[in-house]
Amino acid sequence: MKNQDFAAHRQQYTIDNQTLSFIDIGQGPTLLFGHSYLWDALMWAPQIELLSQHYRCIVPDLWGHGLSDAMPSKNRNLRDISTQMLALMDSLEIEEFSIIGLSVGAMWGAELALAAPTRVKRLVMLNSFIGYEPEITRDKYYAMLEVIKQEQAVSATLRSAIAPLFFADQPKMELVESFNARLANLDNEQIDTIYRMGKMIFGRRDTTEEADKLTLPCLILAGLQDKARSVLESYLMHDIIDGSIFVHIPDAGHISTLEQPEFVNQQLSQFLIATD
């Protein structure tokens, strides 16, 4: 199955007069996916291809990303995102589901698991951190966001600073090139949402304060060469989430699903089977 084949499985859901685009493919227990900031649902293409053979995969494009509209004006934080994702599941009449999130996808995923503990059966967090953003990186990212807002674009200079954060030390150049092209072609509505979403992500609350309530099966994966989220952050989450499983992803940066798809697929499959 090729990426473009997912177009036949695209659906839309309208929230607050804005349209959320999502892929709905496969049959079986439901998996809800959350992608990284500045990416889209197709970041999960290798995982959808495998897991949709045994599971129903619901894969939204985050607001302002992929084919989704700009973020609703009332959104203020990641809990608002999690509430909207739960509303999406309600609209599909899906009662129970597992969450597989990377970066911000795991941040709102953890919020959703806390908000609906009887409905979320498992939580997988890749290359993420649900605590506060460290002050040094928060201030650096805020400064980048202000430049993007002012210029209404992601300039070549900024792209050269942003792109390396997402990839391993020796990246796959086709991934880097397609990512840079996506950043270069954002429209004004997307830029506005990228700015607002970035402020929400890097100004998020410390969800680790409620980590003792995350009693569901939890898998934490971390790319050993991730420059956006340190491996130490994943160790910290593993330490505070009782019974969680921690796995290193070798030779992977932040977008481990595309950099090491076979390894990630193997870990996801093993975890899902073991926790059935």
pLDDT, tens digit, 9 for 90 and up, residues 43-59: 999 999 999 999 999 99
Measure the CA–CA gap between 239 and 252, rounded to whole angstroms.
22
Instruction: Residue 255: name the closest of 236, 227, 274, 234 by CA.
Output: 227
In this prediction, residue 214 carries a pLDDT of: 98
**Domain 3-132+206-274: CATH class, spelled out:** alpha beta
Degrees to nearest 5, angle at CA 80 with 79 and 86? 90
In this prediction, residue 200 carries a pLDDT of: 98
Write out pLDDT tens, residues 98-128. 999 999 999 999 999 999 999 999 999 999 9
In this prediction, residue 229 carries a pLDDT of: 97
> What is residue 137's three-state secondary structure?
helix
In this prediction, residue 1 carries a pLDDT of: 44
In this prediction, residue 3 carries a pLDDT of: 52
In this prediction, residue 256 carries a pLDDT of: 98
In this prediction, residue 154 carries a pLDDT of: 97
In this prediction, residue 152 carries a pLDDT of: 97
- Point out the residues of the chain with pLDDT beneath 50: 1-2
Q: Which residues share a beta bridge with 32?
A: 58, 99
pTM of the model: 0.98
